[in-house]
Chains A and B, each alone.
Chain A
Amino acid sequence: MAESPLREPVLDAKSEVTCQLIDFQWKLGMAVSSDQCRSLKYPYVAVMLKVADHSGQVNSKSIEMTIPQFQNFYRQFKEIAAVIETV
């Protein structure tokens, strides 16, 4: 049997995982000022995740992270990437 190309596994409805990440967008922003604080100077990373459930319905979720939070986020994904290489 020919080796199938990378495919999206069909998941059992009872499986615990129901969403698939289909897109990941990001932006690096700097909040300069706000009504509460004229001199805010707050850098942040905003991430937009698009996930599809098993029925194909797509939902978007956006998160905003401080730089230290993003660094932790990035570090965790690096760790995942390293582990997945060894499987």
Chain B
Amino acid sequence: MAGELEGSKSLSGLLSGLAQDAFHGHPGITEELLHSQLYPEVPLEEFRPFLAKMRGILKSIASADMDFNQLEAFLTAQTKKQGGITCEQAAVISKFWKSHKTRIRESLVNQSRWDNGLRGLSWRVDGKSQSRHSAQIDTPVAIIELEFGKSGQDTVDLPCVVKHPESGSLHGDLGLWSLFMPGI
């Protein structure tokens, strides 16, 4: 059974699944799913600690944002530990981190952004204009439309026209503000 756990293709898939769950916020990546899809021959009571170990290793690497020297040192230490990992597993983890590091880091940064982000910016400059109350507004103005959104939400593409915001209030997680800036 130990040989089953050493298969590199399955481990690669497991690490992908763990990353999707832990960093990219993909729902539905359960222990049962990973077990049935990747290690169906391994008894669940053997799979569970193995999964926990891999999850722990991946989280440690990501949390420290390890560079490749740190990664090699860390994985070597893991291979020498009692109940650690095999050299083959270390190689798979190393390859995985090298190709997924940037994307995982991006997800971790996004997870730490709780305020609104700027999703879009459109603008136009008006020359002279008139309105009901003012015959001539002769100051050039810039009208800017900012699109805000919280991390993790899908970006909504807006057409580049000035829209009428609803009383300047935020609806849902997306806010739309039109700003009026008098020109100099």
Residues of A within 8 A of B (CB): 6-12, 14-21, 31, 34, 36-42, 44, 46, 49, 51, 53, 59, 61-66, 69, 72-73, 76, 80, 83-84, 87
Contact = CB atoms under 8 A, between A and B. Distances in A.
Contacts of A64: 113, 115-117
A16 B62 contact: no
List 4 tightest A-B contacts by C-beta distance, closest first: A87-B140, A12-B131, A9-B137, A37-B108
Q: Is the interface of B mostly helix, strand, loop or mixed?
A: mixed
Given A16-B178, A37-B105, 19 more contacts: A10-B131, A10-B133, A11-B133, A16-B162, A21-B179, A31-B109, A34-B108, A34-B111, A34-B112, A36-B111, A36-B112, A37-B63, A37-B108, A40-B109, A42-B109, A80-B123, A84-B140, A84-B183, A87-B125
A48 B127 CA distance: 27
Contacts, number: 130
Contacts of B116: 61-64
A39 B63 contact: yes
B118 A19 contact: no
B148 interface: yes
A51 B100 CA distance: 41
30 contacts: A6-B139, A6-B184, A9-B139, A9-B141, A10-B131, A10-B133, A11-B131, A12-B133, A17-B180, A18-B164, A19-B177, A31-B109, A37-B105, A38-B63, A39-B64, A40-B65, A40-B109, A49-B179, A51-B179, A61-B175, A63-B146, A63-B148, A64-B115, A64-B117, A65-B117, A69-B118, A73-B118, A83-B125, A83-B142, A84-B183
